[in-house]
Amino acid sequence: MTTPAPHDLSLPPYDLLVLLGATASGKTRLAVQLAEALDGEIVSADSRQVFRGMDLGSGKDLAEYGSIPYHLIDLVEPTEPFSLFDYVQRARPVIADIRRRGRWPILCGGSGLYLSAIVQGYQLTEAPPDTELRRQLDVLDLAQLRQHLRSLRPQLHNQTDLTERARLIRAIEIATAEQQAETLPVEPPHALVFGLRWPRPLLRQRIAQRLHQRLADGLIDEVAQLQRQGVSWQTLEFYGLEYRFVARHLQGQLDFAELCQQLSQAIGQFAKRQETWFRRMERQGLVIHWLDGQADPFGQLRQKLRSLALITTGPRP
């Protein structure tokens, strides 16, 4: 039996393929299928997969990649700072290098801010800690800090910056540095964007099933090991979701049943926020070609490429 020839992809108008979706939607598996068909490499757009040792909680699923090269996973220790600026500084050269080598970069993830920064060409400025500015901000209460940040950045990308004092101060620091810097506009890539989605009740089921599997695979032990290695309870709380709730369980604040119930609910709420972010990207003019997770999403993806006259079957030239 002869092996079918791989698909030949010719995308003159595009230089980046994007696959986004809510947590537990099956993005990694679909991205691997796409990379296998199109001779591509996967670039992670996940704010927690950059950290070593945060495997089950961040959903790295490294075994799924097989022989497909992947990038921007396991970059730094979880005790090291890593910002959106750091991510963009690494992601843009990686994407360019994949293109230079004649392969297709496939940006895959669900961290809305990271996706937007690449796809929509955010202009970012390095902002080292500013001791004098922090001293001035220390005397302000939360309401004053929020007002100050909104005055610097009326169209705030990340609303979570408004919820915690440390994040507010850091966001003000970054916004102040951006105002003071002279930077050139960033040309966004010509991205062809696909989104994977499920009806919400089914997505909730997938979230619950995946959570129970990860707990069975050792999620609690993973968080305990991170804490033993020097990642503080406060830092684990900051990383949110699995790390926040398992850390509370390990400190005796939640029993196992409460952990499962509260964490599953929190992940469901996070998925809703992800979907809200994707709708916001569409309102800003980004075209997302949505795929139905229930009905052979890879087949839908190939059909969409064919309908755009961007994919043919047959041997590579």
Lowest mean pLDDT among 51-55, 76-80, 225-229: 76-80
As a whole number of angstroms, the distance between CA 65 and CA 256 comes to 32
Q: Model confidence over 168-184: pLDDT tens digits?
A: 787 788 778 766 655 55
pLDDT tens-digit series, residues 221-268 = 999 999 999 999 989 998 999 999 999 999 999 999 999 999 999 999
Band (155; pLDDT cuts 50, 70, 90): low
The ranges assigned to domains in the chain are: 13-123+185-312, 131-180
The reply, when asked if residue 272 is annotated as ligand binding, is no
Q: Are 118 and 91 in contact (CB under 8 A)?
A: yes
Which phi and psi angles does 8 have, rounded to 5°?
-100, 120
Q: Are 108 and 43 in contact (CB under 8 A)?
A: yes
Enter the DSSP assignment of 314.
S
**Span 119-127, average pLDDT:** 83
Tell whether residue 22 is among the known ligand binding residues: yes
pLDDT range class, residue 65, cuts 50, 70, 90: very high
Collect all residues with Cβ–Cβ distance below 8 Å to 37 and sequence separation of at least 6. Answer: 6, 7, 9, 302
* 2 among annotated binding-site residues: no
CB distance 220 to 47 below 8 Å = no
Q: 45 among the known binding-site residues?
A: no
Q: Compute the mean pLDDT over every residue in the chain, rounded to the nearest whole number.
A: 87
User: What's domain 13-123+185-312's architecture?
Assistant: 3-Layer(aba) Sandwich (3.40)
> Which phi and psi angles does 104 have, rounded to 5°?
-100, 120
218 has binding-site annotation: no
pTM comes to: 0.82
Predicted local distance difference test score (pLDDT) of residue 156: 53
67 assigned to a ligand binding site: no
- Which pLDDT band, with edges at 50, 70 and 90, does 50 fall under? very high
pLDDT of residue 17: 96
Can you tell me the distance from the alpha carbon of 179 to that of 166, in angstroms, rounded to the nearest whole number? 20
Residue 313 has pLDDT above 80, yes or no: no
State the DSSP H helix or E strand holding residue 186, giving kind and residue range, or none if neither.
none
Is the CB of residue 200 less than 8 Å from the CB of residue 26? Answer: no
Give the pLDDT band of residue 314 (cuts 50, 70, 90): very low
**CB proximity list for 93: less than 8 A, separation 6 or greater:** none
